[in-house]
Amino acid sequence: MWNTVVVLGASIAALLALREGARYTLQQETDVLLREETMELALAVQQLHPDQQAMAEEFARKADSHAQHGWFVELLDPHNQTVWQSDNTPGDLQPPASVTETRFSLFSDKDYRVAQRRLSDGKTSGYLVRLGTPVRYIHRDVDRLMRSMFPIALALSVVAPLGGYLLARRATSPIRQIIATTRRLRPSRLNERLPLRGAGDELDQLSGEINNFLDQIAGYLERHREFVGNAAHELRSPLTAIQASVDVALNKDRSPEDYRELLFTLSEECERLRVLINQLLTLAENDAVGLERPTAPTPFDEIVHKSLDVFAALAEDRNIALKHEVQSPVVVPGDGARLRQVVNNLIDNALKFTPSGGRVTVNLCCDTSRDCAVFEVRDDGIGIPREELPRVFDRFFQVDKSHHRDGEHGNGLGLSIVQSIVQLHGGSIEVESDAGKGATFRVSLPLRADQGENRT
Amino acid sequence: MNILVIEDDPSIGKTLVQGFTEAGHPCQWAKNGNDGARLAAEQQADAIVLDLMLPGAPGLDVLRGLRQQGIDTPVVVLTAKGAVEDRVTGLQNGADDYLVKPFAFVELLARIEAVCRRTSSRPLATLSSGPLTLDLTTRRVTCDGREVELTPTEFSLLELLMRYAGQVVTRKMMCEHIWGFDWDGPTNVIEVHVNRLRRKLGRQRDDWIIRTIRGRGYSIPSAA
């Protein structure tokens, strides 16, 4: 409603402005015309003098040509005595300002708009040519214009708000759709997506962004569900083993040696549980929303050297060549203990899947073009089948359990932990491998705390 | 050595009391913070095991109270939270050591004996035990009078074993000692280094100085 009032007010203001504008423009137009015609008349007087008859005809013609605007023409001699004037010349017109005035001048009294010129040379010197028009004609024209404009303005004041309302409704309909769809979404029901109209405008972009966001949340929840399921399974296994051993042991009396044996088994299962729980907590901690990206300057090269020192003995025992090329210094913003886990897990993994006589290569360098530290562990072990590559970082994923050496335990969390730590540091990890062709894991960590990808 | 256990969980408390008693340490058990604070003030225990999550008075309050009363009995804090901040707060409030649950009893015992030793004697420049001598400043190691070359990792593991001579050192303690935190990968790196150490110390298989304590860890005998 008040929309209409506003539009109406604006229309009236526009009309008033238009009237003043039109009046001004018409006046200007008239002035120009009067001036031109006055010059022409002045010339005619000079040329036709002293032929009174021809002059009168010329004057009458000029006056007649603009009769509908009430033009009148007047010729005065140097003593301001009328030589000739058209019939409609008003009697109450002001006398010329000055007898000696020769310039063209324009004056208006309240009823008339008058142009006058006093001739300056020749026989007609001192004669005054006057051409005028009553102001009411200008007003009449303006009023005519206004009368035709008023209905249009009135119609506009009604149509504009209505049209505006319809347009706004049309423009916000996708927004209302977005609101309706979003309202239907629940954490348990995230399969619905906002429709795209294919217009490629800002609203489509907004819908697209919201859809992306929903995809991420849905993906996160799906992974979370899977993770909890897997975690429950993995936690149950050692617990089941413990419970079963105890139940069986209590079935009948046994020798102290048997009991001792049972206790050793229990102790090992407990240790397995402890490691698993710690790893699950590590993952949960790294994933925690709001965990700040660690930024303490950390000597990455020293971490790699330390790990190499410790794992060298293992490689030697297993007859695996552990080669390395480590650039120094490489300092990254991060958390030393977490980065150590990345390095340890990757080297440990490579040694685990490399047969005797094989080779593991560890490289660390700075990629100045990308402004990041690149840590790479390459082995020529059994590799990972191409089709399983996308899943290697999935929690609890293990390529092939038959390759574990005796006494080695793995629960498929190591690489997930590595990935979560790398992402926490704003870095990225990639893997290249194929069955029988070894594997290369490459970690890129930003050298500055303000660059790199943010976690999704 | 008299030990005061302040722990509300009945099964953990019971196990600790039994463990300490059987290890030859008379033990008292307070089941909440207030009793714990009273017992700690009344009886002169040689060491206190303090759970941080207690009904009554929270563990940290008990600890602060003890230190304010001028009771400087060594305290080993037990916590279910492993977060670094918790450990730091514990140590800042006057704890001598901390242990994250779940833990091996042998580790708790070893740590209690270590903090008691630490508070009662000056830090040592050399560690020795039986045939072994380890100079912490020159980092020289001799075994049976013969000098032994060790890698930094081997030296560090041997130092840990000798600090806890006569006690069991778990694989977890060794991992923490090497890496600065409890990292334990699928491959048994610790075992590899212990075996190398044994060979370098030059004894035969049935006479190894570093003994395997099945299901628990490793140990070297204390100097008799």
Dihedral sign, CA of A420, A422, A426, A429? negative
Spatial distance between the Cα atoms of A315 and A84, rounded to a whole number of angstroms: 128
Taking residues B24-37, report their average pLDDT.
Answer: 90
Q: Which of A247-261, A325-339, B86-100, B204-218 has the lowest mean pLDDT?
A: B86-100
Which residue in A278, A343, A416 has the most chain B C-beta atoms within 10 A of its own C-beta, making it the best mutation to test that interface?
A278
Closest residue, chain A, to B180 (C-alpha) = A337
Spatial distance between the Cα atoms of A104 and A124, rounded to a whole number of angstroms: 16
Indicate if the pLDDT at residue A401 is higher than 60: no
Are A137 and A49 in the same domain? yes
- pLDDT tens digits for A416-445? 889 989 999 999 999 998 888 889 999 999
Spatial distance between the Cα atoms of A75 and A60, rounded to a whole number of angstroms: 11
Last residue of a domain, one of A107, A127, A143: A143
Are A276 and A301 in the same domain? no
Q: Which run of H or of E encompasses A165?
A: helix A135-184
3-state helix, strand, coil in chain B (%, to 5): 40, 20, 40
* CB-based contact A149:A18 (threshold 8 Å): yes
Q: Name the residue among A250, A234, A362 with its Cα closest to residue A306.
A: A362
Indicate if the pLDDT at residue A320 is higher than 90: yes
Are A321 and A271 in the same domain? no
Residues from chain B contacting residue A352 (CB–CB below 8 Å) = 186-187
- Chain B closest-CA separation from residue A377 CA (Å): 16
Spatial distance between the Cα atoms of B118 and B116, rounded to a whole number of angstroms: 5
- C-alpha distances in Å from residue B136, one per residue of B125, B148, B208, B223: 5, 14, 23, 17
The CATH number of residue A78's host domain is: 3.30.450.20
Are A300 and A442 in the same domain? yes
Taking residues A56-67, report their average pLDDT.
Answer: 79
Taking residues A53-64, report their average pLDDT.
Answer: 80
- C-alpha distances in Å from residue A3, one per residue of A6, A185, B166, B187, B214: 5, 35, 92, 77, 88
Taking residues A37-47, report their average pLDDT.
Answer: 82
Q: Does A351 touch chain B (CB under 8 A)?
A: yes
**pLDDT for the residue B6:** 93
pLDDT confidence tier of residue A156, bands split at 50, 70 and 90: confident
Are A363 and A265 in the same domain? no
- pLDDT tens digits for B9-19? 999 999 999 99
Burial class (CB in 10 A: 0-12, 13-18, 19+), B34: middle
Indicate if the pLDDT at residue A66 is higher than 60: yes
- C-alpha distances in Å from residue A246, one per residue of A242, A243, A395, B15: 6, 5, 30, 18
**pLDDT for the residue A231:** 83
pLDDT confidence tier of residue B182, bands split at 50, 70 and 90: confident
Question: Which of A141-145, A320-324, B62-66, B117-121 is the most confident on average?
Answer: A320-324
pLDDT confidence tier of residue A127, bands split at 50, 70 and 90: confident
Last residue of a domain, one of A229, A252, A287: A287
Q: Which of A270, A278, A310 sits opposite B153 (nearest CB)?
A: A310
Taking residues B178-203, report their average pLDDT.
Answer: 84
Indicate if the pLDDT at residue A456 is higher than 50: no
Q: What is the mean pLDDT of chain B?
A: 85
Are A283 and A300 in the same domain? no
Q: Which of B180, B186, B215 sits opposite A408 (nearest CB)?
A: B186
Question: Which domains can be identified in chain B, with CATH numbers?
Answer: 3-120 (3.40.50.2300), 126-219 (1.10.10.10)
What's the token pair of residue B71? 């009771």
Indicate if the pLDDT at residue B30 is higher than 50: yes
**pLDDT for the residue A109:** 62
Cα–chain-centroid distance for residue A73? 69
Taking residues B31-42, report their average pLDDT.
Answer: 88
- pLDDT tens digits for A8-19? 788 788 888 888
ipTM above 0.90, yes or no: no
For residue A181, tell me if it sits in a domain. no
pLDDT confidence tier of residue A108, bands split at 50, 70 and 90: low
Last residue of a domain, one of A232, A257, A287: A287
CB count within 10 Å of CB B190 equals: 24
Q: Does A317 touch chain B (CB under 8 A)?
A: yes
For residue A197, tell me if it sits in a domain. no
B181·A414 Cβ contact <8 A: no
The CATH number of residue A224's host domain is: 1.10.287.130
Q: Which of A394-408, B8-22, B120-134, B202-216 has the lowest mean pLDDT?
A: A394-408
- Chain B closest-CA separation from residue A266 CA (Å): 9
For residue A137, tell me if it sits in a domain. yes
- pLDDT tens digits for B78-93? 887 665 566 677 777 7
Are A112 and A139 in the same domain? yes
A340·B180 Cβ contact <8 A: yes
Which domain does A338 fall in, by range? 296-446
User: Residue B163 carries which side chain, given as an amino acid letter?
Assistant: R
pLDDT confidence tier of residue A157, bands split at 50, 70 and 90: confident
Q: Give the number of A-B residue pairs with CB atoms closer than 8 Å.
A: 63
- pLDDT tens digits for A358-392? 999 999 999 988 899 999 999 998 888 888 888 88
**pLDDT for the residue A290:** 67
- pLDDT tens digits for A81-103? 787 787 777 777 766 665 455 45
For residue A452, tell me if it sits in a domain. no
Q: Name the residue among B156, B169, B164 with its Cα closest to residue B212.
A: B169
Indicate if the pLDDT at residue B224 is higher than 70: no
**pLDDT for the residue A96:** 66
DSSP A97-112: S-TT--SEEEEE-SSE
Taking residues A230-251, report their average pLDDT.
Answer: 86
What's the token pair of residue B77? 């804090």
Q: Name the residue among A108, A128, A112 with its Cα closest to residue A120.
A: A128
A309·B189 Cβ contact <8 A: no
What's the token pair of residue A335? 């958390």
